[in-house]
Amino acid sequence: MDKKNITIISGLSGSGKSTAIAAFEDAGFYCVDNMPVSLLPQFIDLPLYHSPDIPGFVFGMDLRDKEFILKYQKVVQKLNSDGYKLRILFLEADDEILRRRYSQTRRHHPLSSHKTIMDGIRDERNQLKILRKQAHKIIDTSALNVHELKSIIFKYVRENITINTMQTHIMSFGFKQGIPNDSDLIIDVRFLKNPYFIPELKPYDGENKAVQDFVLNTEETETFLKKYMDLLDYLLPLYEKEGKAYLTIAFGCTGGRHRSVAIAKKVYEHLSLQGKQVAITHRDKGE
């Protein structure tokens, strides 16, 4: 049975747990906030847990669950003994920073009923001190903004959890039919020689070898592909580092049948040889 990664995000209220959970979600994880710890074993029995499309699960758990402190150790020990890959990520911040964050958002601290915010913060810190000692990683968010915290989470995921890398989609299209709305990078290859004006090549598309030879075997195309592939080799790891889950690169020519198809196919082959998760579609090849 596949023992998927399980991460419990806990810590002090106002320390950025919601931001951390959102970062995991952006990285492709299935996330549930304010999950009662007693329900975790039942969740693992669901068919969803074994979905091949989900690299792992993240659960936000803290003192909002009144039974959390009483039950989490028993649940965690049982999962560990059963061979599940469970990690605890603990977020915290300085007392004054937490007080300021609550003052700015005007939210109620979960333990501040009939007492001050500072009393609630100190009470929560005291109740969670044992869990903090058991955490696999502690993140102090006192000096972090939202983007910095997300970057730390993405780095943690890359270094500690085996996940699928960013999925890259290569697309060819024709400007006559409009620019693809879901593209992240658009490359106009209409500067290349056009097989459309060669009678013996016009009936074919960019997957035909004769068309490919015509498009690819020129000095301009070779120079372009070298420079652009060098750029992609530089950019893709940066997108992955930032936590981007999907990237669509669209190559366009006039009709979307010749030049864009040949170039898209060449770039697809280049990324495939590097072991990237890459797919290709030709939107207008049949037009």
User: Total domain count for the chain?
Assistant: 2
For residues 195 and 133, state if they share a domain. no
- Whole-number percent of the chain with pLDDT over 70: 95
pLDDT at 189 over 60: yes
Q: Which of 51, 65, 60, 55 is nearest to 22 (CA)?
A: 60
The secondary structure of residue 202, as a DSSP letter, is T
For residues 176 and 139, state if they share a domain. no
Q: What CATH number is associated with residue 137?
A: 3.40.50.300
Distance separating alpha carbons of residues 48 and 41, to the nearest angstrom: 13
Distance separating alpha carbons of residues 23 and 147, to the nearest angstrom: 10
Q: Among 105, 140, 160, which residue terminates a domain?
A: 160
Distance separating alpha carbons of residues 225 and 69, to the nearest angstrom: 58
Q: Among 112, 134, 160, which residue terminates a domain?
A: 160
Structural domain containing residue 110: 5-160
pTM above 0.85, yes or no: no
Q: Among 106, 128, 160, which residue terminates a domain?
A: 160
Out of 21-25, 119-123, 242-246, 267-271, pick the least confident. Answer: 242-246
pLDDT at 245 over 60: yes
Token pair, residue 168, equals 């890259």
Residue 255 DSSP SS3 = coil
Token pair, residue 155, equals 């780095």
Residue range 93-140, pLDDT digits in tens? 999 999 888 877 667 777 777 678 888 899 999 999 999 999 999 999
For residues 13 and 107, state if they share a domain. yes
| 246-253/185-188 β-pairing | parallel
Sheet containing strand 137-140, edge to edge, reads 30-32, 56-60, 5-11, 85-92, 137-140
For residues 149 and 193, state if they share a domain. no
Token pair, residue 72, equals 């989490």
For residues 154 and 64, state if they share a domain. yes
For residues 136 and 171, state if they share a domain. no
For residues 116 and 178, state if they share a domain. no
On whether the CB atoms of residues 192 and 259 are closer than 8 A, the answer is: yes
Read off the pLDDT band of 1 (50, 70, 90): very low
Q: Is residue 253 situated within a structural domain?
A: yes
Q: Is residue 152 situated within a structural domain?
A: yes
Distance separating alpha carbons of residues 204 and 190, to the nearest angstrom: 17
Q: Residues near 229 by Cβ (< 8 Å), separated by ≥ 6?
A: 267, 270
For residues 25 and 137, state if they share a domain. yes
On whether the CB atoms of residues 172 and 211 are closer than 8 A, the answer is: no
Q: Is residue 90 situated within a structural domain?
A: yes
Token pair, residue 169, equals 């989609």
For residues 142 and 235, state if they share a domain. no
Distance separating alpha carbons of residues 132 and 130, to the nearest angstrom: 5
